[in-house]
Amino acid sequence: MTYAIPALDERARSEAQERLDGLVKPLGALGRLEELAAWLCAAHGTVPPRPLDDVRVVVFAGDHGVSASGAVSAYPRELTASMVRVFLAGTSGVNVLARQVGARVRVLDVAVDADLDDVPEEVRAAKIRRGSGSIDVTDALEPGEAARAFAAGRRVADDEIGSGADLLIPGDMGIGNTTVASALVAAVLGLPADDVVGTGTGIDQAGRARKVAVIERARARAGERVSDPFELVTALGSACTAATAGFLVQAAVRGVPVVLDGVFPCAAALVAREIAPEAARWWLAGHRSTEPAQAFALKALGLDPILDLGLRLGEGSGAVQAVPVLRNARAVLTEMGRLADLA
């Protein structure tokens, strides 16, 4: 399957750069804001770019088999299901931060290991399964599930864009998911597990060593299958990985910018790029997380994070905080005066 991904408009990018060069400031003095303003023009194909009024965060929630032992996370597996209710109540970290920038948050139960009968049907509509297999001992997914989850993620992007979203942010919720994200980054980039693994929710050094061992066993088990992205997700990923990757690819197909968040969406982005290499042109990096795997993923994607706040939460919490910076980039390009007009 190939995906028709629009190119960015390089003429709009250079027109934007010319305009930036003529604003009432020393050449290049707005640094990264200038690059972001020109990027937005290239993405929108117009100078100035359109406002970013309708920003949507979609939190993909699911459990990962590796968390069942309680050995790879500082927190219990049951928190994934509890957090779905917190997102719905509007009191999670990302809910609070999203409100600050007027972004909406939608949570989806893709693979939570519970029957969330009390939550609205639309939250469960994309459910693939309860939990994913523990990658050190078995495949994460059954055959066909990665493709189904990927298609579900694409539909979610279509829904959001169809109802007016002009910027998308993938969020994640799943105890144990930093182990899975690290496994994917290590496999795609051919790096030793010990280089990419971090401390996630705050696990100690013995816990970190267990994460490394889980990933080494998982990779030995998966062998050469990792060279095919759907096989990779089936063996080492999860339903949330596939759904997030589908969401990222479809945003690109529709020509809608995405701001990536922490380690899990960045690992999914690496997988998505294996599926649709041109999709990456539609993605920006919102922030640098403390997880080494995220830094490796961003480097491989050629992305420089907008913010570096030492965050290690996930949920989309770093990416939403980059939204005001993007709006500022647009504002200076749109509203500043021109040197040529000085009296």
Ligand X SMILES: Cc1cc2ncn([C@H]3O[C@H](COP(=O)(O)O)[C@@H](O)[C@H]3O)c2cc1C
Ligand Y SMILES: O=C(O)c1cccnc1
Restricting to residues 66-105, which ones interact with ligand Y according to CB under 6 A?
none
Give kind and range of the element (H or E) at residue 19. helix 10-21
The item of ligand Y, ligand X, none sharing an interface with residue 289, based on CB under 5 to 8 Å by kind, is ligand Y
d(CA 318, CA 312): 9
State the DSSP string of 153-173: HHHHHHHHHHTT-SEEEEEEE
- Residue 201 interacts with ligand Y (CB under 6 A)? yes
d(CA 240, CA 111): 7
- Residue 83 interacts with ligand X (CB under 6 A)? yes
Of 95, 134, 179, 321, the one binding ligand X (CB under 6 A) is: 179
Nearer to ligand X, 133 or 176 (CB): 176
- Residue 17 interacts with ligand Y (CB under 6 A)? no
**Catalytic residue positions, numbered:** 315
Restricting to residues 156-195, which ones interact with ligand Y according to CB under 6 A?
178
Q: What one-letter code names the amino acid at 97?
A: L
- Residue 252 interacts with ligand X (CB under 6 A)? no
- Residue 200 interacts with ligand X (CB under 6 A)? yes
The item of ligand X, ligand Y, none sharing an interface with residue 123, based on CB under 5 to 8 Å by kind, is none
Nearer to ligand Y, 49 or 265 (CB): 265
With beta carbons less than 8 A apart as the criterion, state whether 281 and 18 touch.
no
Give kind and range of the element (H or E) at residue 333. helix 317-335
The item of ligand Y, ligand X, none sharing an interface with residue 291, based on CB under 5 to 8 Å by kind, is ligand Y
Give kind and range of the element (H or E) at residue 108. strand 104-111
Restricting to residues 305-324, which ones interact with ligand X according to CB under 6 A?
313-315
Short-list 268, 248, 250, 270, CA closest to 259: 248
Short-list 131, 232, 124, 126, CA closest to 176: 131
d(CA 94, CA 11): 36
Restricting to residues 257-296, which ones interact with ligand Y according to CB under 6 A?
262-264, 289, 291, 294
Interface residues with ligand X (CB under 6 A)?
Answer: 73-75, 79, 83, 172-179, 200-201, 203, 313-315
Interface residues with ligand Y (CB under 6 A)?
Answer: 178, 200-201, 262-264, 289, 291, 294, 312-314
